[in-house]
Chains A and B, each alone.
Chain A
Amino acid sequence: MSDNQPYVVAVIDDEPMVTQSIKNFLALETDYEVLVFNSPREAIDSLRDKQADVVISDYLMPDLNGIELFLQLKEIQPHATRILLTGYADKENAIKAINDVGLYQYIEKPWENEDLKLVIRNGIEKRMLMKRLAEKVAELDKASADLKGVYADLLKAFK
Chain B
Amino acid sequence: MDNVNVATAPASVMILDDEEMVTRSIVNLLDMETDYRLFPIQSPRGALDVARREHLDCVVTDFMMPEMDGLAFLRELKQVSPGIPSILLTGYADKQSAIQAINDVGLYQYLEKPWDNDHLKMVIRNAVKHRSLEQMLSERLHELDRAMRDRDSFRETAERLEAELELAEEVQRSIFPRGPLDDPQFQFFHRYYPTGRLGGDFFDVAMLKPGFFNAIVADVAGHGVAAALGTMLVKVVFTDASQRGACCDGMLAEMNARLSKLLYDQQYVTAFALSINGAKQQITAAPAGGPHPILFARNGDRPVEEWALNGLPLGAFQPFVFRHPDIQTRPFRPGERILLYTDGLLDTEVDIGESADPKEIVRTIEELRHLDGDELLDRLAESRGIGTRTLPDDVNLLLIEYR
A residues adjacent to B (C-beta < 8 A): 78, 91, 95, 98-99, 102, 104-106, 108, 112, 114-115, 118-119, 122, 125-126, 129-130, 132-134, 136-137, 139-140, 143-144, 146-147, 150-151, 153-154, 156-159
Q: Are B110 and A115 in contact (CB under 8 A)?
A: yes
B171 within 8 A of A: no
**Contacts A134-B4, A136-B141 given: A153-B130 contact, CB under 8 Å?**
no
Interface residues contributed by chain B, number (CB under 8 Å): 45
**Contact segment of B21-29, B111-119, B308-316, B336-344:** B111-119
User: Is there an interface contact between B130 and A126, defined as CB atoms closer than 8 Å?
Assistant: yes
Please list 7 pairs of residues, one from A and one from B, whose beta carbons are closer than 8 Å in the complex, sorted by A's number: A105-B126, A115-B110, A122-B126, A122-B130, A133-B4, A136-B140, A157-B162
Contact B2 A108 (CB under 8 A): no
Asked if B140 and A150 sit within 8 Å, CB to CB, the answer is no
Cα–Cα, bound, A106→B144 (Å) = 36
Q: Mark B141-185, 1 if CB is under 8 A from A, else 0.
A: 101100110110011011001100100000000000000000000
Q: Are B165 and A157 in contact (CB under 8 A)?
A: yes
Min Cβ gap B116→A in Å is 7
Check B197 for interface membership: any CB of A closer than 8 A: yes
Chain B interface main SS type: helix
Number of CB contacts from chain A to chain B under 8 A: 97
B42 → A minimal CB distance (Å): 27
Name which residue of chain B comes closest to A140, CB basis. B144
Given A106-B122, A136-B140, A157-B162, residue A122 in contact with residue B4 (CB < 8 A): no
Contacts A106-B122, A126-B130, A157-B162; A134 near B112 (Cβ below 8 A):
no
Cα–Cα distance between A154 and B143 once the two chains are bound (Å): 23
Q: Are A143 and B147 in contact, with the CB atoms below 8 A?
A: yes
On whether the beta carbons of B141 and A126 are closer than 8 Å, the reply is no
CB distance from A150 to the nearest CB of B (A): 5
Task: State the CA gap A153–B154 with chains docked (Å).
Answer: 11
B116-A108 in contact (CB<8A): yes
Residue of A nearest to B195 (CB): A159
Across the interface, B133 reaches (CB within 8 A) one of A95, A126, A150, namely: A126
Docked Cα-Cα span, A124 to B170, in Å, equals 61
B108, CB-defined interface residue at 8 Å: yes
Q: Is the CB of B151 within 8 A of A122?
A: no
Within the complex, the shortest CB–CB distance from B139 to chain A, in Å, comes to: 9
Q: Which 3 A-B pairs have the closest CB atoms?
A: A136-B140, A102-B1, A143-B147
- B143 surroundings in chain A (CB, below 8 A): 140
**Bound CA span A156–B148, Å:** 22
Given contacts A91-B116, A140-B144, 11 further A-B contacts (CB under 8 A): A95-B118, A104-B126, A106-B122, A119-B109, A126-B133, A129-B130, A129-B133, A133-B137, A140-B140, A143-B144, A146-B151
- Complex Cα distance, B125 from A104, in Å, reads 10
Q: Is the pair A150, B154 in contact by a Cβ cutoff of 8 Å?
A: yes
B108 touches A122 (CB 8 A): yes
Pick from B109, B140, B147, B224: contact of A159, CB under 8 Å: B224
Say yes or no: is B20 at the interface (Cβ < 8 Å to chain A). no
User: Could you tell me the distance between the alpha carbons of A108 and B133 in the complex, rounded to whole angstroms?
Assistant: 26
Task: Say how far A154's CB is from chain B's closest CB, in angstroms.
Answer: 5
Query: Are A136 and B126 CB-contacts (below 8 A) given A119-B109, A130-B2?
Result: no
| A137 neighbours in B (Cβ, 8 Å) | 4, 140
Distance in angstroms between the alpha carbons of A91 and B122 in the assembled complex: 13
* B137, A157: Cβ atoms closer than 8 Å: no
* Contact between chains at B161 and A136 (CB < 8 Å): no
Give chain A residues whose Cβ lies under 8 Å from the Cβ of B136: 133
Point out the residues of chain A lying under 8 angstroms from B35, CB to CB: none
Candidate in B4, B143, B151 with the most chain A CB atoms within 10 angstroms: B151
Chain A residues whose CB sits within 8 angstroms of the CB of B126 once the complex forms: 104-105, 122, 126
B327 lies within 8 A of chain A by Cβ = no
A158 touches B224 (CB 8 A): yes
